[in-house]
Structure 1
Amino acid sequence: MSFDFRDKVVVVTGGAGDIGTAFATLAVGRGADVVVVDIDPRRASRTAEGLSRPGTPIAGDLTDRAFVDALVETVEERFGRIDVLVNNVGMTSTARFDVRSVESIEHELAVNLVSPLVLTRLAIPLLRRSQDPRVVTTVSLAGIFPQGETPIYAASKFGLRGAMLSIGLDLRAKGIRAGSVLPSAVDTRMLQQEAIDGGNSLQFQNPPQQPADVVRAMVSLLDRPRLEVYPRRGESVLTRVTMLAPNLLPRLLPLFRGKGERGQDRYLHTLERRGLVRRDGGRWDWVEAERV
């Protein structure tokens, strides 16, 4: 059966990002009231106001407990409940582990791992007021497969996947259904920045999927609740099979690195044709208009 979005209260974190905006657009188009949560107040307002029926923008830092408390209070005062909580906030850094600051490590873990867990916990009372409460979390195939260039991102996603599997098992018996989406590389500003900065080339083995592909997987979780879905099932099978023998990774990964580097270069040239980036000498950078 298809999930009925009509009159549902949907809260989307990272709501002004590419995946968050795509999900918010679909939810509003099917009759939901959407709360767009984002750290950037201008982008949150622009996204909420650009929906076919204006959503509610709430801007703030999800790693700030006072903001999360205020967010939950605001949603309670305005709507009285949450029907669907979409944990979509995320970040990454291409700074290598041996040179990055301890503070940056703590911040990335706080954004990607701690903040979704804290918000989900604090949202439980409002979810329980729904007749059919759901939690959908964007994880990543990096929650299964190690990322040598971005180990803190992998750590956060490994942890988030495990936590959400456990939470899904626990809350199911209490009337709240929770599941996660595990996409590979998605054509978002975060991936574009990572490509510019020279991040993990292995994720460019295949052309990046689109935000709409991830949104379809999210909706499939609502249509047919389960603990996990993968937008590209073939990639997920290969990843999981490879992880049956992790000690072989130092031998296996170099075999794929060349293909990934070529894919990353093709992706950057695609972004150049789209007018998003340009090559300045030996390095890539944003076209200034696109950074606004």
Structure 2
Amino acid sequence: MTTSATARVALITGGAGGIGRAICRGLIERGIQCVLADRDQAALDRATMELGPSATGVAIDLTDFNKLPDLLALVQERYGRLDILINNAAITGTGHFEERSVENILGELNINLLSPIVLTRLAFPALQRVGDGRVINTVSLGGIFPLPETGIYSATKFGLRGAMLCLGMDAERHGIKIGSVMPSATETPMLMREAIEGGNTLQFMDPPQQPEDVARQVMRMLDSPCLERYPRISESWTVRLAMLVPNMLPRLIPLFRKKGLRGHARYLESLRRRGLVQVRAGKWELS
């Protein structure tokens, strides 16, 4: 089965999650066929039912690099083209670095950093054939500003940002427009789990943005390609200014942490009021 020659096709990793679904909705409104790649089959089923016939789900472990060529072959077999690759899938671990297993660390590195780089490389031929291929990455302000207790996540996002900036600056040579969206904390199930499991409170200094805020920047990236876009410009200036004096971070972080603790408490209460979390046996848990 193939679509018409004029219909664009997008492959979105982590497409069944909150940000992934919001991006897909924006793409589908533009008449773009969406292939959602995610490891959670049940979430894929819910997402494709919600999004309708313009969305196709593919269950895949993106850390199994041997399966990535098969994913791209499936897109070619079904649609005959690939116009847009959205590297959106990501995870974050909780707990102290010295307590995390090596397997856990490698899993985070693979899904957040190695998988999008490998998938981008494998997708290059298909993206070059369409003449206006795009790669858009969901990175993070964590790729600019390091936060305590997020060393592996920051490493993956610093690395992904750097790789995609380099590739984006080579666009004249390879012919593919590459850019990244740099959100701060965004209300997704992953963030909710972090909130109740002791994730870094610094990310709650301001109320989390919504997946639709990130998706709007992806749509802007399609309309006006550039290397980076930020859902909240003010936050981008704050973190970049702080990084001008990295040796001051040990003094700045305690000030930020106080604000983050207050924001974390407000966010937990907001989740409770909305029925998204509850306290059971003295512990927070998702409803």
The two structures share one fold, judged by TM-score above 0.5: yes
Aligned residues: 282
1:136 is paired with a residue whose SS is: strand
Counterpart of 2:259, as a letter, is: K
Distance 1:172 1:280 in 2: 56
2:132 is paired with a residue whose SS is: coil
Indicate if the aligned counterparts of 2:27 and 2:219 stay in contact, CA closer than 8 A: no
In the other structure, the counterpart of 1:3 is none
2:244 is paired with a residue whose SS is: coil
In the other structure, the counterpart of 1:115 is 115
Indicate if the aligned counterparts of 1:90 and 1:112 stay in contact, CA closer than 8 A: yes
Distance 1:163 1:214 in 2: 20
Distance 1:185 1:277 in 2: 18
Alignment of 1:124 onto 2:124: yes
Report deviation, 1:279. 1.5
Alignment of 1:1-292 (within 5 A): 7-287=7-287
> CA offsets, 1:41-87, max 9 Å, x none?
12112212321434111111011022211101101111122111100
Counterpart of 1:160, as a letter, is: L
Distance 1:88 1:172, change over 3 A: farther
Distance 1:265 1:103, change over 3 A: same
Distance 1:110 1:171 in 2: 25
> CA offsets, 1:249-277, max 9 Å, x none?
11111012111011011111111111110
1:103 is paired with a residue whose SS is: helix
Structure 2, unaligned runs of 5 or more: 1-5
Report deviation, 1:120. 0.5
Report deviation, 1:280. 2.5
Report deviation, 1:281. 4.4
Identical-residue share of aligned pairs (%): 52
Q: TM-score, normalised by structure 2?
A: 0.95
Q: TM-score, normalised by structure 1?
A: 0.94
CA RMSD, 1 decimal: 1.2
Runs of 4+ more than 4 Å apart:
none
1:98 is paired with a residue whose SS is: helix
Counterpart of 2:219, as a letter, is: V
Distance 1:53 1:212 in 2: 21
1:92 is paired with a residue whose SS is: coil
Distance 1:195 1:162 in 2: 28
Counterpart of 2:242, as a letter, is: T
1:199 is paired with a residue whose SS is: coil
In the other structure, the counterpart of 2:3 is none
1:128 is paired with a residue whose SS is: helix
> CA offsets, 1:131-163, max 9 Å, x none?
311110000000000021211001100000001
